Structure 1
């Protein structure tokens, strides 16, 4: 998957017709076709108000939602998707289905890290109990919960927590306690020279989850040369090194970008490290040399892909509900003189908008009067004009007013030249 790929893809042509269908509809038809081939299944029908199916198998009534399956399979090849669909339907082939209890699932609960765009189209916002349980701790990534199963993992939704009678906090504490028991499995030193490189080869499908464990990445201080850095380009790839040797850092960049591009289950091409408190944060290399700029560009491109996917989802949602709300694009550029990256968004008066968090806000003061201002300065000088929307990730701010003349003058004085502005 490329940096610029639209994560939800375009429509597909249905076999044998000229009809173009959405990816969600296409998957629905694939599941219906798979059920039609099963002689034990009858009375397959779509749920009238949800993305799912009701069917009868061996006399047993089954109702299943397909939101998680869509999120899990949207980037897979047709062959891989067919295999996942078969495994998904096989879960309903047993005897009388029953809801799992907390006692049955708590030992199999684990955290996973996914891109921010993963699963945002499922389920719809007017079904809040069926949204995925998620925490937002690392920019453009989400911490989700899954129940580990033999053939597949079930993503935990808020309705599951309600069924189990546990809080979100209790579920995360349990999941991380389970992960802590396997954190050292498969952690091996791959290279010692010129700079130590470690990887997680546990083959348990939770290699990248280790990065979420408090103190895990920080524990490599002293085992690597320099500040610990990590890359998680795919769900099964976690490689850790130090940032002292530029050649080693460059190799991690190569690995991250190459595997992210090639994998159907990519996460992020970026490098991550820990702050002074031991929290995992995006890695920023000091200076303006080629390697430092490359790392910054990779973060910017990844953010652009996540914001593009978010904008597509929000635009579709607003159109369906008749909401007049402009979702601003995340713009990205590199300066000609030194290839330094810069992100920007556009803000106009009298436009109700959702702005992405960028380096610069380009304010439109008139037809030919534009004013680029650092985003942090806009937040400081006009705090009443922007309101954080906590449910959106990556971060967006709702414009709640246009700055008054006095504040506009202050903003004009703080304006920057995009061609020469140095991002802090």
Structure 2
């Protein structure tokens, strides 16, 4: 009943829209239908072809439509006209002429972890004997932004935003830099809609409602348009952009709490690493001491999830290789009566391991299994770093450890135990 009321008289949720999309797909004979509400997106198989689509554009159209019949029409138009159409080489990403796609380009904010995941997915497709993906899938050009953030190009289509890869740029005869400049102009030309909205005292949120909220980081003048004098921003989701003032302790607290809530409610994030805009240039933001633990906890959870995804992909890649190293996990430790959260990994005696970069390292000796030594990462590198082998090409980073510290090194580690 509540869903019917929202659909006809109020504001439908992403779950309401997805359910109606799924119902229509089922009626059309689609199988293996799965969906994610936080993205939102849907994957299904129709006539032997697996298809995938983001639903952010549809959600925006449904919210703009007035009344249940108009919203039903939007769903019907989208599913029947876009998602169920035959696959065609006439789609924008297959265009040969740059002029035909130039107005569809959009800049996208991503992270090194995103790029690493995409690379492992592509490698796994090859190792499983699937059809070799084209270069467009394997090679996505990017530009460093700041810290862990990178910029890539997207191609806006009615049903989704496709990543622009090097093969596409080569076919169009345009450089990444020139295409990115065009994409910035397209972003600047998008409708303002509600612009910046104050969602709590001292906390602002972008309300452009086009799924490109996080991309506004590429437009410093738009950030300053919020009216915040010393902007600090966070982008927990691709379509969520928060801003507050670097000197506003209450605003920073609210922003961190909002991001924490989104981590709990969603499964697919962009990043909770805060950035500060200083003279139109982004730089990592160092929270004040009173809030440092709260912000560090967000990053620890984010890194843990990134490493978990990476671990699963690496284990798929190594499934047929008995000599492959063990892929270490990241564990989180919550301190009692505190916001402090730290991460740790285990360096085990006699186990060839791909060790993740964590706050702490636990050294587990075979000879003294009841005397695990836990030290800060910096101390582990200082004392036993010569046993760490750098692993190229992995984001987030790992080192390979196949040799356990000597007795003398273990004594040095015990002398600097963190816990």
**Which residue does 1:356 correspond to in 2?**
356
How many residue pairs get aligned? The number is 349
- 1:25-424 equivalent positions in 2, closer than 5 A: 30-31=44-45, 34-35=46-47, 53=49, 87-88=82-83, 90=85, 92=87, 99-101=94-96, 103=98, 104-114=100-110, 116=113, 119=118, 122-125=121-124, 126=126, 129=135, 130-131=137-138, 133=140, 135=142, 143-161=151-169, 163-164=171-172, 170-172=175-177, 174-180=179-185, 182-183=187-188, 186=192, 188-191=195-198, 195=202, 197-211=203-217, 213=218, 220=224, 223-224=227-228, 227-262=230-265, 266-268=269-271, 270=272, 272-274=274-276, 278-281=281-284, 283-287=285-289, 289=290, 291-336=291-336, 338-366=338-366, 367-399=369-401, 401-404=403-406, 407-413=409-415, 415-418=416-419
Give TM-score scaled by structure 1 length.
0.66
- 1:294 and 1:309 mapped to 2: Cα distance? 24
Cα displacement (A) at 1:228: 2.2
SS in 1 for 2:233: strand
CA contact (8 A) 2:353 2:400 kept: yes
Q: What RMSD over aligned residues (CA atoms) do the two structures have, in Å? A: 4.4
The worse-fitting range, judged by mean Cα deviation, of 328-337 and 246-255 is: 246-255
- 2:234 and 2:396 mapped to 1: Cα distance? 20
SS in 2 for 1:231: strand
> Given the superposition, is the C-alpha separation of residues 192 and 333 from structure 1 closer, same or farther in structure 2, using an over 3 Å criterion?
closer
Give TM-score scaled by structure 2 length.
0.66
**Which residue does 2:63 correspond to in 1?**
none
CA contact (8 A) 1:139 1:394 kept: no
SS in 2 for 1:122: helix
Q: Structure 2: which 5+ residue stretches go unaligned?
A: 1-25, 27-31, 36-40, 60-71, 127-131
**Which residue does 1:59 correspond to in 2?**
none
- 1:233 and 1:322 mapped to 2: Cα distance? 38
- 2:89 and 2:294 mapped to 1: Cα distance? 52
Q: Deviations over 1:160-209 (max 9, x none)?
A: 3454466xxx32552255225534863845349954x4443333332211
- 2:364 and 2:33 mapped to 1: Cα distance? 36
- 1:355 and 1:123 mapped to 2: Cα distance? 22
Q: Deviations over 1:40-81 (max 9, x none)?
A: xxxx5xxxxxxxx5xxxxxxxxxxxx6xx55958xx99x99x
CA contact (8 A) 2:34 2:44 kept: no
SS in 1 for 2:418: coil
Q: Deviations over 1:219-270 (max 9, x none)?
A: 6499425x422122333221211132222222223332334544576434x2
CA contact (8 A) 1:140 1:393 kept: no
**Which residue does 1:6 correspond to in 2?**
none
Cα displacement (A) at 1:397: 1.9
Cα displacement (A) at 1:357: 1.3
**Which residue does 1:18 correspond to in 2?**
none
Bigger helix share:
2
- 1:339 and 1:300 mapped to 2: Cα distance? 12
CA contact (8 A) 2:93 2:168 kept: no
Q: Deviations over 1:107-159 (max 9, x none)?
A: 53333234635656633344583325164766666544321223322123454
